[in-house]
Structure 1
Amino acid sequence: METNSNIEIAIEHYVQQYGIQIQIAQHLYEKRAEAEKAKRTLKELKYRIFYNRPLLSLDSIENSKTTANNTSTTTTTINSETSQQQSWLNTYEKQIERKKMNLMAMYIAKAESQFYQCQKIFDDELSRMWQNHRNLVKNQGMTTTLIHLIERRLALITEKFRQIYNYRFDYYLQNDQQQQQQRIGFSTSLIIDTTHHTLTKKEIQLLNRGPSYVPPYQLSISSSMTTNDEIIKRKYAPLKHQLATLFSKYHINIAVSMDIEQKINEQFKNLFSSSLPSTLRQRAQYEKHLVQSIHRSLLKNNLILRRTADNMNSFYLGNLQNFQTKAKQYLSNSDSFQLIMTLNETNQQESLHDKFHGMIESINFALKILKHRKAIDPHTITRLLLDPTKIQLSDMDFLCDISHENELQLVPLLPYLNTLTSKIGEYLNRLLRPFADRIMKTTRFHHDIDFIQKLNHYACTQRRLTTTTLFCTIKISNFYYLDSHANIIDWIGYFLQDNLGTNKLEQISIMTIKNLLQLFLYNNIFRYHEHIYTFTKGSPTTMPITDTLSNIYLFQWQTKLLRIIKQNDGFFGRCKDELFFTWNSSSNELHDLLQSIKIQYPNVYFHTSIGSNVNYLNLYITNQNGQLYTRVNRDATLKENYILPYVTGHPKLMYSIWFRSALIRAACCCSLVKDFQQERIYLELTLLVNGYSLRFVEHHVQHFFDYFHAYNMRYLMDQMIYETFRQHWFDFITMKNESQEMTQQIDDNGHLIRLNYLYEQGPRCQFNQEFYQLWSSCFKNHSRLSEEKSKVILTTKHVHSLNVLLAQSKLKHQEQV
């Protein structure tokens, strides 16, 4: 490799004749060095997040906090082993972690600005040099030799800084374990609510990956499968079963279906048959042993591990007995559940069996009556009838709500597959939801971006936002348990009567729908330990029909409020359990109106927020003298900061989709470019601190900006350019919503086909592409499976997430009776 001294000697020959050109070159070298240094400094800060290595200067936060605590506490010490002190320590560490992350976000924002300025100066200088060279400006033309020397010198500068900072990464970040031992790092997701655990540091690090995390290659090292062919067969099994069911449903010729399935199977074997390298096998074994060790520790110390109820990728670790006590208290104190049977050793099997099978017979008898009356076609009745050998009794489980300061609350979670009411619930949802969506379309927000688009149209396009306009949000706290079953059924009937042109919805009469609703609502039962309960309000939150019924009920409930808001030229909409509207009269009048609604409908529990600025759908919205201002709401004190959402299936793919969606959300929901850039940095750091590589993050960020050929927008703070960039994404979302509506229509018509297979490693994208090509060629002329008539979605799944391995109930979620 050439040295700097060799290049300097070569350049000296040109000093006499090309002095000005050499000065230009020296200036370029300086600017390249400044740009490279700024680039590597920025990169090092991000690597510090990934490797959990805070800047040493941030340790002063720990010292100041500790000193402050010592001055205010005289009877206890940091090293005290009491539960109260341990709780304080946990809270203290979380605060320090968030503070360090917030400061790092500020440093990275400054480093990005510095890098952009340095890079822009260098690019401008280089562009000016080439422009003067091409325009033959006197004493500024470059010879071929000098150009070659400049290019080599610039490349050497880049290589020099690359090697310097690679050494820093290796020494200071990756391998400096000793200095990290007693330091508090960055944000962690695990919530520890116990002092009696024996988890090691490595085990805690694994749990900090969250319930979505999938320990790699667990199928490949399974003791039940010894050969590679057995592993491939296991991964392919779900897809094979789904294809067989699909071909049978559509009456595909046996020979044709076997030929198609064989071709797909061969593709799968060819692409996924590679054996697992030894290094990856070692990692898989290591994490398997960690999981087993954690499981033993949970059992030994009587602990429980549950994911949090906010659907974020975080675990709660607490005492099992306390958890079960709170669960029993929840069921006893709630007016949404009723105890119908207590099991004991003498009556457990016989009484439960009689009760359960009596309910099955009652439901089937009612369905046969509807068939006899020709209220529903025989084919549908056949699908709805229950087979006692396949119906299961669900076990209630609970997730942990940690949003309340210093108080754990529980949220019920009830699996619904193969239960007494799952078939009727699915049928009712397919019947009611499409019709209800059409009726509620004008007052419904599909998501936060849809809300921002409509609010922008109201405030900016129509210019109906005045300087005195107030914002109001309403949060329904009992969305899933709004009213008694009888009242819910009546309100659904009123909704259908008010909005149907006839007495039937798709040939099903309103009375028949009410009969089916009665079968559904009154037969949701579940078990929690030795007790059997039934719902007195609402239905399982995991069933889509529950959302549909609650949405219809609230649509009827909000009628009075909507009428008055329209009379006052206001803006109104609802997204599930959250309402937003504008108010152009006095706040006292609004308070009186809301109070009258509470009195008229005491069963709907809600709380409100009124003012010129409010939070809605995790967005901050404010009226600044008649100008609308919005941004993503990031409260620095929120517990869920820098935590990914909880996902299932294929986590890496799901987080790729989430990251892009979150960047689009940031662009659409942030009015100002500075807020967008701050949110972008927050999203990048969230992925880095949760173990996703800088390469992964940079790839997706570059793709996001390159989509509209606006990569420079990543560092720009130009509001005018940002407005154009933002509008592009609004237009993109509009087209995406139209595409999703078409997909939903296909699903409503029963022509959306979902297939999946188990995945660990291999060319997933290639297999999916070849699968779609084969499917298209085989069914291009089929009356129901062609691309014009149906849509196929092929996805991947993992079966060994930490949530499955560690956080499931000791009882099976569902048990046949």
Structure 2
Amino acid sequence: MELKQGVFFHKSFISFDALKLEIPMLPNSIPANDKIEQQFSNKHEKLIDYKKLDSLAIHVLEAEMAYYRCQNIFDSELSKMWTNHRNLVKNQAMTTTLIRLLQKRLDNVSNRCRDVYNYRIDHFLQNSYDELDYSVTDNKEEALKRIGFSYSLIIDTTYLFKKQQLQLLSRGPIYVPICQTYISDSNQSMHDIVKKQFAPLNYQLAGLFSKHNIQFPLQTEFQQKIYQKFEELFSTPIPSSLNQRAYYERQLIQSIQNSLNKNNLILRRTANNMNTFYVGNMQDFEAKADKFMDRSEDYIVLFDLDEEFKQKPWYNSLNDMIESMNSSLEKLKTNISIKHNSYQQIVADPTKVKLPYLYFLPNISKDNTNILLVPFIATDYSVTWNIGKYLNQLLRPIVDNILRATTFYDEADFIRKLNHYANIEHRLRSTTVLCTITISNFYALDTHKNMLDVVDYFLTDNLASTKLEAPTIPTIRDLLYLFLHNNVFYYKNKIYAFTKGSPNTIPLTETLSNIYLFEWQKKILKEIDENIEFSGRYKDQIFFTWNKSSALELERFIEDFREKHRNVRFQKLIGTTVQFLNAYIENRQGQLFTRVHYDPNIPRYILPYVIRHAKSAISDWLRSALIRAVCYCTSADDFHQERIYLELTLLTSGYSLLFVETHVKHFFNYFHAETMRFWRNQKAYDKFRGQWFNFTQNREKLSKELENFDHHGGLFRLNYMYDFGPRFRFNREFHRLWCAYFQHHPILSEKNTKIMLTSQNVYSLNTLLAAPKSPHLNQP
């Protein structure tokens, strides 16, 4: 416990002298300048911190196991003593006075240990963010014992932030500064705050009731009841301590904003969907972005806003595009190719359409000193938003059903099936070669014409014997044509269109890519004997085994295939060891060995980037990560080490030891396997692992049932803004009232409907400091 608390406070009583970490000199081959030297220094500092945590992870695991062994010995001896006493064993019974003395001594020892523990934790708390200069020679030992807090921050600038600023930025983009809603406007009352937080839920309920023709009196009564309960629970003023912290963090955020603006710096979350900030020079960042756009073959400039339009303004051209698309939809409705209600869903309203805009996020997964940029497009309420949503709801269930046999549902599904192939069916041979393929242009695989042809062929080939309800396959092609050819976006005073693919932020894009790769991968898999091999795909990654010939011949086959289909760009990995979906997979002479894989270029102790309510999302992530660990790790030792890595990740990110312990205990207690946490018995672990394999299979079935509800319009997602208060209690009250009011409704009853009520944080560091701003374009 004490070791873990030390990590939480970025301190440790363990000496790291054995690491022998010397500050390296900058190589002579690299031209020296302030920025390069600062990058080199930052990278080395992180390396030191990671090595310290790796060392701590080993110490923590050894300490846990040692404590458990001693506790077992003590419990066994104590039990034996009491048994002998109760059974009046000769020469081993004890007087009442002696028993009382022993009990008193045990209590004193326990109290003493507790006092020492509390004293040390108090020391950690008082000195966790001290101002000592650990660069002084006399304090080298203290410097080694200190654990850094820069895991979630990549610094690519010579500017030196203040220590307090670094502490806040190191919490990462998902960190939610506490109670900012309550201090954002000093003039607002508690009633105003609660009303603002309830507004999204109230709006969603009104739309839901209107859609299902709920009588207005019933609708009004229910919404009033919900609001009364919401106001009752969330009208409590925040404690003074939280109020002080809220103002302190707001001032700190403002100081960071001033530093960024004054020094021409840019702050962005990283593109690898991890809880990491990147801070660099604005001019350098934009130069890389401009270079990317100049070289990209996926976009084409429609018109330049810097040039005064000689014919008509840009917004007139956009309105012409909307009118043309709506006219085509009108013709489809007139020809009864689409129904009237479908037409109402997909037609674009010019007054509500927003022009999508492109922004870039840095990708630092390969080299921390040489960032690459990844484009993203904000597409909410774009010209094609409605039609894309409609087509995805139509196609996704069909596509998922057809692709089910050749795709993995998730990480757990993959490793469970691989384990079945190797250890249940015993089809993994000592000569079996493993191969993975990673698609690098997943969202821009081919031209629009070729994409339409592939989708047309896919639907015709798989649905020819099935009567498809309206719209027909030709109508779907027409709608897809409108979707693909009307995706435009804004970037630096230019309007662009896509030549390949479509925005990666629209779900339909992934569905179309899945269709295309299904047809593409069939040409590879036809060379594979399904009775011998194991294969499948998850999004942009493919895994398969190969027994047909040697690894060299497999490589020749894949390279020949690459030459014939050059539009799909990919990297391959062939051998007895590969990595797939964050799993390290090894064929050890016909025996399958797996564990969690970490890219050496990506920091290990980093949380994922999550949205909605951060703490709730991280809670879900920890449970999933523990399940992934037990499914991936064939060795009990590897599993326990991975569990410690996860615990330290949360502690270094500011999550309390109570939070971590509660979730870890719940994980082991789920199958009543409390002792497995401190037990390295491989046979017992294999049984425990098998239970989780069965659990993931059942969880997948439940997830598919939920998806089925969603496809049939029975899943309703509702949310409200949250900053402080008893959200769990409100959620329970909401579901209780819903059941009471709609238990007999043909659609909204608990039997026919799934309500997902979630809370969403209003402010995170990403939204306050790093979120790309929507461009302001001049239009009437």
- TM-score, length basis structure 1: 0.91
- For the pair 1:65 / 2:22, whether they are aligned, the reply is yes
Please point out which of 265, 277, 299 is paired with 1:337: 299
Corresponding position of 2:91: 139
Q: CA deviation at 1:188?
A: 2.3
- For the pair 1:610 / 2:566, whether they are aligned, the reply is no
Corresponding position of 2:138: none
Corresponding position of 1:234: 196
Distance 1:354 1:627, change over 3 A: same
- For the pair 1:352 / 2:304, whether they are aligned, the reply is no
Distance 1:158 1:122, change over 3 A: same
> Which residue identity lines up with residue 69 of structure 1 in the other structure?
M
Q: CA deviation at 1:55?
A: 4.5
- Asked whether the equivalents of residues 215 and 287 of structure 1 are also in contact (C-alpha less than 8 Å), the reply is yes
- For the pair 1:632 / 2:596, whether they are aligned, the reply is yes
- For the pair 1:517 / 2:469, whether they are aligned, the reply is no
- Matched residues in 1 for 2:765 and 2:147: separation? 23
> Which residue identity lines up with residue 500 of structure 1 in the other structure?
L
- Asked whether the equivalents of residues 673 and 722 of structure 1 are also in contact (C-alpha less than 8 Å), the reply is yes
- For the pair 1:763 / 2:720, whether they are aligned, the reply is no
- Matched residues in 1 for 2:49 and 2:503: separation? 37
Corresponding position of 1:52: 10
Please point out which of 649, 670, 674 is paired with 1:686: 649
* Other structure's SS at 1:340 match: strand
- Asked whether the equivalents of residues 269 and 361 of structure 2 are also in contact (C-alpha less than 8 Å), the reply is yes
Alignment of 1:358-507 (within 5 A): 358-405=320-367, 406-502=369-465, 505-507=468-470
- Asked whether the equivalents of residues 466 and 626 of structure 1 are also in contact (C-alpha less than 8 Å), the reply is yes
Corresponding position of 2:471: 508
Corresponding position of 2:180: 218
- Matched residues in 2 for 1:694 and 1:97: separation? 20
Corresponding position of 1:776: 739
- Matched residues in 2 for 1:428 and 1:738: separation? 25
> Which residue identity lines up with residue 382 of structure 1 in the other structure?
Q
- Asked whether the equivalents of residues 153 and 172 of structure 2 are also in contact (C-alpha less than 8 Å), the reply is no
* Other structure's SS at 1:220 match: helix
* Other structure's SS at 2:22 match: helix
Corresponding position of 1:33: none
State the Cα RMSD in Å.
2.1
Q: CA deviation at 1:181?
A: 4.3
1:37-62 CA-partner distances (Å, limit 9, x unpaired)? xxxxxx2211221111144622664x
* Other structure's SS at 2:536 match: strand
Distance 1:180 1:747, change over 3 A: farther
Q: CA deviation at 1:569?
A: 1.5
Q: CA deviation at 1:226?
A: 2.3
Distance 1:773 1:379, change over 3 A: same
Corresponding position of 2:766: 803
* Other structure's SS at 2:505 match: coil
Q: Gaps spanning 5+ residues in structure 2: where?
A: 136-142
- Asked whether the equivalents of residues 613 and 620 of structure 1 are also in contact (C-alpha less than 8 Å), the reply is yes
- Matched residues in 1 for 2:41 and 2:310: separation? 45
- Asked whether the equivalents of residues 555 and 574 of structure 2 are also in contact (C-alpha less than 8 Å), the reply is no
Q: Gaps spanning 5+ residues in structure 1: where?
A: 1-42
- Matched residues in 1 for 2:683 and 2:112: separation? 38
> Which residue identity lines up with residue 725 of structure 1 in the other structure?
F
- Matched residues in 2 for 1:593 and 1:74: separation? 40
> Which residue identity lines up with residue 326 of structure 1 in the other structure?
K
Q: CA deviation at 1:169?
A: 2.3
Alignment of 1:708-787 (within 5 A): 708-787=671-750
- Asked whether the equivalents of residues 395 and 814 of structure 1 are also in contact (C-alpha less than 8 Å), the reply is no
Alignment of 1:149-188 (within 5 A): 149-171=101-123, 174-175=126-127, 177-179=130-132, 181-182=134-135, 183=143, 185-186=147-148, 188=150
Corresponding position of 1:10: none
- Asked whether the equivalents of residues 9 and 124 of structure 2 are also in contact (C-alpha less than 8 Å), the reply is no
Distance 1:335 1:224, change over 3 A: farther
Corresponding position of 1:591: 555
Corresponding position of 2:233: 271
Distance 1:559 1:432, change over 3 A: same
Corresponding position of 1:20: none
- Matched residues in 1 for 2:211 and 2:721: separation? 23
> Which residue identity lines up with residue 57 of structure 2 in the other structure?
A
Alignment of 1:184-263 (within 5 A): 185-186=147-148, 188-223=150-185, 225-263=187-225
- Asked whether the equivalents of residues 636 and 685 of structure 2 are also in contact (C-alpha less than 8 Å), the reply is yes
Q: CA deviation at 1:89?
A: 0.6
* Other structure's SS at 2:438 match: strand
Distance 1:553 1:229, change over 3 A: same
Q: CA deviation at 1:141?
A: 2.8
Q: CA deviation at 1:247?
A: 1.0
Corresponding position of 1:126: 78
- For the pair 1:95 / 2:58, whether they are aligned, the reply is no
Distance 1:598 1:613, change over 3 A: same
Q: CA deviation at 1:748?
A: 0.4
Corresponding position of 2:139: none
Structure 1, 151-160 or 291-300: larger mean CA deviation: 151-160
- Asked whether the equivalents of residues 392 and 816 of structure 1 are also in contact (C-alpha less than 8 Å), the reply is no
Q: CA deviation at 1:107?
A: 1.2
- Matched residues in 2 for 1:505 and 1:404: separation? 46
> Which residue identity lines up with residue 478 of structure 1 in the other structure?
N
- Matched residues in 1 for 2:389 and 2:752: separation? 22
- Matched residues in 2 for 1:291 and 1:130: separation? 60
Q: CA deviation at 1:152?
A: 2.6
- Matched residues in 1 for 2:722 and 2:616: separation? 11
1:763-808 CA-partner distances (Å, limit 9, x unpaired)? 1111111110110111111011011211101000011111111112
Q: CA deviation at 1:179?
A: 4.8
> Which residue identity lines up with residue 583 of structure 2 in the other structure?
L
Alignment of 1:556-567 (within 5 A): 556-566=519-529
Q: CA deviation at 1:507?
A: 2.2
> Which residue identity lines up with residue 267 of structure 1 in the other structure?
K
Please point out which of 85, 91, 106 is paired with 2:58: 106
> Which residue identity lines up with residue 251 of structure 2 in the other structure?
H
* Other structure's SS at 1:508 match: coil
- Matched residues in 2 for 1:172 and 1:766: separation? 34
Please point out which of 564, 568, 577 is paired with 1:600: 564
- For the pair 1:663 / 2:626, whether they are aligned, the reply is yes
- Asked whether the equivalents of residues 212 and 647 of structure 1 are also in contact (C-alpha less than 8 Å), the reply is yes
Distance 1:225 1:626, change over 3 A: farther
* Other structure's SS at 2:755 match: strand
- Asked whether the equivalents of residues 101 and 186 of structure 1 are also in contact (C-alpha less than 8 Å), the reply is no
Q: CA deviation at 1:357?
A: 0.4
Distance 1:224 1:251, change over 3 A: farther
- Matched residues in 1 for 2:776 and 2:588: separation? 51
> Which residue identity lines up with residue 444 of structure 1 in the other structure?
T
- Matched residues in 1 for 2:112 and 2:493: separation? 70
- Matched residues in 1 for 2:18 and 2:636: separation? 32
- Asked whether the equivalents of residues 472 and 609 of structure 1 are also in contact (C-alpha less than 8 Å), the reply is yes
- Matched residues in 2 for 1:74 and 1:423: separation? 55
- Asked whether the equivalents of residues 197 and 722 of structure 2 are also in contact (C-alpha less than 8 Å), the reply is yes
> Which residue identity lines up with residue 206 of structure 1 in the other structure?
L
Corresponding position of 2:140: none
Distance 1:698 1:195, change over 3 A: same
Distance 1:419 1:460, change over 3 A: same
Distance 1:282 1:126, change over 3 A: same
